[in-house]
Amino acid sequence: MNLIKPRDEIVPVFHDDNPQVLGGKLIRHWDDSQDAVVTEEVLNELSPEQIELLRRGVSGGAFATASGIYTANQLDVYDATQLAFAYLADTVKIAMYTNSIAAMSYYTDTVQTAAPYNANEVSGTGYTAGGYTMANKTLTQSPNGTVMFDNTVDPNWTITGSFATAARGAVVFDTTIASALFCAINFGSDYNVTNGTFTIQLNSLGLVTILFAA
């Protein structure tokens, strides 16, 4: 018998229809009867309705559970539609939303002026309805093989009092091309402020970094 017995290992498995959603797990463990490592697959059981939601890219009746890019618009940039997305030249804004926003879809939503984005935006004295204008945008290849969309100043608002309802996330959109949606950021929790500055601290990899070549 092999005296070196590896520890049990659990590996997450994600859904083919939506790689952001955990679909189950692989459990690898030592089986003495076989004198070998055995792999067992345990899948989460989903209803037909849940599977359909995964296919549509719908997060449910709250802010999208993960940050992401609106792929329908990205596709239109490259296909025959030729969506004229000029990140540096266009007016690009970022608006914050509460967790009461209706179901969002990265796959089918295209404009910020339509549902569900026309409701449940954060409000409060000092917050700019319709979003913060990003006036310090940069577009760089950093690191090599990637394209990073960034803004060198973190979006911020000086708030008197507090938001009527806490912010759960933010949506980035281009007002030059009919408020076309670009990406969304989930804060991970609800956040508020009392008589102070609310700042969205952007990731060191910017708003979005797209890998084109390793």
Distance CA 75, CA 107 (A): 10
| pLDDT value for 44 | 56
For 121-179, the pLDDT digits (tens) are 999 999 999 999 999 999 999 788 999 999 999 999 999 999 999 999 999 999 999 99
Using a 10 angstrom Cβ sphere, with 0-12 exposed, 13-18 middle and 19 or more buried, the burial of residue 17 is middle
Residue with tokens 């179901």: 103
CA distances from 103 to 68, 132, 206 (A): 14, 23, 25
Per-residue pLDDT of the chain (214 residues; tens, 9 = 90+): 334 444 444 444 454 554 444 455 455 555 566 655 555 555 555 555 555 544 444 445 678 878 889 999 999 999 999 999 999 999 999 999 999 998 899 999 999 999 999 999 999 999 999 999 999 999 999 788 999 999 999 999 999 999 999 999 999 999 999 999 999 999 989 999 999 999 999 998 899 998 888 6
Q: Is the peptide bond before 6 cis (omega within 30 degrees of 0)?
A: no
Considering the entire predicted model, what is its pTM? 0.73
Reading the block at residue 58, the tokens are 């719908």
Under DSSP, the state recorded for 176 is: G
